[in-house]
Amino acid sequence: MTIRVATLNEHTAPPHPGELFRQWYDAARPLHPPEPDAMALATVGMDGRPSIRIVLLKQFDEDGFVFHTHYGSRKGEELAHNPSAALLFYWPALLRQVRIEGSVECIDPVESDAYFRSRPRGSQIGAWASPQSHVLKGREDLESRIARFTHEFANKDIPRPPNWGGYRLFPLRFEFWQAQADRLHDRLLYQRRTDQTWSLERLAP
């Protein structure tokens, strides 16, 4: 499929970055199966070193971008130390990327419970069985833990593990990037003002 490269103009862009993100996200979903929600999440450890991984976006609205993980994972521990993070969406079929930076907090446990109930049972068991990011003796160690929790929750509803839940990134900065010929790309920067409105500027490619 040939994709016509769009332009990105600060004079016609919406005043709120969430509106532009929604437009781009809706355009990307049918072109990027099976994971249009995949996003890179960057955090910073106590040693000042960044780390990055792919996670899945589960919800976004005016309040921010939600993902779920183990609180004791590397990213969970880093967010506990430094509750700031960056997200990156890349949609190659449209030659677009979006960078988002902001502060992060745990979502309400009720929201985490509701999402956990919607997960497949195997994923629910996995959340209990995996000590995410921690060292295992071998694959058999993980399989033993899976068997243990499968037996423990047999014929029962599986509750959300106390060390697992959602985070919400509250955006302070968006950068929208649209590829153009000769690497002269369009880049628009939105930054949240103290009155919660947004500034909009064009960046050099």
From residue 31, how far is each of 91, 94, 165 by CA, in Å?
Answer: 8, 8, 29
Active-site entry in 4, 139, 183, 193: 183
Does the annotation count 183 as an active-site position? yes
Which distant-in-sequence residues (6+ apart) come within 8 Å of 18 by Cβ?
60, 61, 62
d(CA 186, CA 190): 13
Nearest to 61 by CA among 168, 190, 167: 168
Residue list, annotated binding site for FMN: 53-58, 74-75, 97, 132-133, 177, 187
Buried-state track 76-115, b at ≥16 Cβ within 10 A, e below 16: bebbeeebebbbbbbbeebebbbbbbbebebbeeebbeeb
Q: What's the one-letter identity of residue 119?
A: R
DSSP 146: H
Residues annotated in the binding site, as ranges? 53-58, 74-75, 97, 115, 119, 123, 132-133, 177, 183-185, 187
Catalytic residues: 183
